[in-house]
Amino acid sequence: MIIRRLYYVLSLVCLPLTIVAGFFWPPAHWLLLFLIPYAVVGLYDILTTRHNVLNNYPVLGHFRYMLEFVSPEIRQYFVETNENGRPYNRIIRSLVYSRAKGQVDTQAFGTQYDVQTVGYHRANHSLAPKHVPESEERVMLGGPQCSQPYSASRLNVSAMSFGALSANAIRALNGGAKDGGFAHNTGEGGLSPHHLAEGGDIIWQIGTGYFGCRAPDGGFDKDKFTERARNEVVKAIEIKLSQGAKPSHGGVLPAAKVDEEIAQIRGVPLHQDVISPPIHSAFDGPTGLMNFVQNLREMSGGKPIGFKLCIGRPSEFLAICKAMLETGILPDFITIDGAEGGTGAAPVEFTNRLGMPLNEALIFVNNCLRGVGLRDKIRIICSGKVATGYDIIEKCALGADMCNAARAMMFAVGCIQALHCNTNRCPSGVATQDPVRGRAVNVPQKRQRVHRYHDATLESFRELLGAMGKEKVSELHPSDILRRTADERDRSYAELYLHLEEGALLKAPLPDEYAEDWNRASADHF
């Protein structure tokens, strides 16, 4: 091959000739600065069996790996258009950055989206716009069995653990939550000192690893839970059953991020991958889940208790609904994570191929709770690519009461979507445990940006709601959200999906779309 022949010529012919020529003309020896490293690297490439490309293309083959290493940056900065970036396009990222910095968030020259493309979403405006009061930015979290309800914002920080994010990033998020009066979900990594440092409201998430309330054998420690759950700053408890990025797979914290502090907070070995079990050991089955909800509510002193899941088999969520009816125990809220969610490390196939998308899941959960007559007693929280005021409008119209945002909040503290969250080499210091990189997050500055982003997004949400001719979030309906379909028509979600009436699953005949799953569901097991 030409590259191999070039290597042999330069190494076996030019290198000796250069050495000899140097005795007659000393400046020729300067060529050795190039030829000797070239010969050594090429010899290694030819002898190695690790890389086919390097074996066939000694030395020059390294440029392939260099370009591959920086290819995400090349695509982001030079290839992608404003609207086709993934997971978040440049339009959304720029909007979050502008609102977080308090800069102009308007756009010139019209939309950059193709409004005729299949899947495009929009809402209808009204010629009689309304004024929406600021009170619509909040909702009460806590059902009839809760003695310490919490007035929550419609937009909150979604679950992100200390460990997945740096200490400064966690503090900035919590400080922003404190300043803006909204909640900060801890993620399953436990209630760390950094979550408590700035005094923001906390939703403490309990995962299958029970970090923060973990017994020596890895199980649930009720005494540790009771002590921390009664902390005044903890406003609600969320049991994590599954998440959109990796449903039915335990949380993953790479060994590179497990330093001494993380190991101590979580109660796990140092410098080893932390992979939580895929299922809980503290309870078994839907009825067990409801009993666990009640136990946590009692141990926490009556605070709101809920659970988070990504919808998979429909019959399994219906089994939970049957358990609610049989036990009489109700969660105060249910958090629905869409398959499009995710911030940290996850197996590729789990991220790409498992789980129900958020919009479909919201309609399904809302239908199930309406079908069993419990919708008015349980709040629905959603998470999964919520970043703008329109996103909140859309999710509330499809059944949510409030929204959580993760990656958008990361943008507010400086994330640049470098896609290195799972490597500990986050260039912005947000998703890393490297202390040098983590120091890049200026807590006093970034907490202001989180606060500004939250407030500007909710202001946009209220403006959009009013522009649609509505004064209250409760007036939103699936018919308000339209999606472009392949037949070149805009169809509302009320047309695209069945919407159950109150109590429809408790009387005959059962709706055809739900009958098989309802009959298969059992309160005793998933």
DSSP β-bridge partners for residue 141 = 150
Q: What is the pLDDT of residue 306?
A: 98
Q: Is 76 exposed, middle or buried (0-12, 13-18, 19+ CB in 10 A)?
A: middle
Number of helical H runs and strand E runs in the chain:
21, 15
Q: What is the pLDDT of residue 241?
A: 96
Q: What are the CA-CA distances from residue 436 to residues 70, 164, 266, 336, 420 (Å)? A: 22, 16, 22, 35, 16
**HSE of 42, CA atoms in CB hemisphere, 13 A:** 20
Return the C-alpha torsion angle 21, 24, 27, 32, nearest 10. 30
Q: What are the CA-CA distances from residue 494 to residues 266, 385, 490, 515 (Å)? A: 45, 22, 12, 20
Residues in the chain: 526
* AA letter at 319: A
In angstroms, rounded to a whole number, what is the distance separating the alpha carbons of residues 457 and 11? 63
Q: What are 60's two structure tokens?
A: 């020059």
Query: What's the DSSP call for residue 500?
Result: P
Q: What are 500's two structure tokens?
A: 């159950």
Cβ neighbours of residue 523 closer than 8 Å, sequence gap 6 or more: 285, 286, 287, 319, 322, 323, 325, 326, 327
Interaxial angle between packed helices 443-467 and 90-101, expressed in degrees from 0 to 180 and rounded to the nearest 10: 110
Q: What are the CA-CA distances from residue 146 to residues 51, 64, 385 (Å)? A: 61, 60, 30
Q: What is the 3-state secondary structure (H, E, C) of 314-353?
A: HHHHHHHHHHHHHHCCCCCEEEEECCCCCCCCCCHHHHHH
Query: What is the end-to-end Cα distance of the chain in Å, rounded?
Result: 60
Low-confidence ranges of the chain (pLDDT < 70): 1, 251
Q: What is the pLDDT of residue 28?
A: 87
- Give the residue from 456, 384, 450 showing the smallest Cα distance to 414: 450
DSSP β-bridge partners for residue 275 = 252
| Residues 376 and 328 sit within 8 Å (Cβ to Cβ) | no
| Residues 319 and 133 sit within 8 Å (Cβ to Cβ) | no
Q: What are 410's two structure tokens?
A: 């990361």
Q: Quick check: bond before 509 cis, omega within 30?
A: yes
Q: What is the pTM of this model?
A: 0.92
Cβ neighbours of residue 304 closer than 8 Å, sequence gap 6 or more: 141, 142, 143, 146, 148, 149, 150, 235, 236, 237, 332, 333
Cβ neighbours of residue 347 closer than 8 Å, sequence gap 6 or more: 246, 249, 252
Q: What are 48's two structure tokens?
A: 């190695």
In angstroms, rounded to a whole number, what is the distance separating the alpha carbons of residues 32 and 18? 7
Query: What's the DSSP call for residue 162?
Result: B
| Residues 419 and 404 sit within 8 Å (Cβ to Cβ) | no
CA angle 265, 141, 482 (to 5 degrees): 105
- Rg of the chain over all Cα atoms, to the nearest angstrom: 27
Q: What are the CA-CA distances from residue 256 to residues 271, 274, 421 (Å)? A: 6, 10, 11
CA angle 185, 327, 313 (to 5 degrees): 60
Segment (H or E) for 493: helix 493-496
- Give the residue from 310, 331, 285 showing the smallest Cα distance to 523: 285
- Give the residue from 264, 277, 276, 253 showing the smallest Cα distance to 165: 253
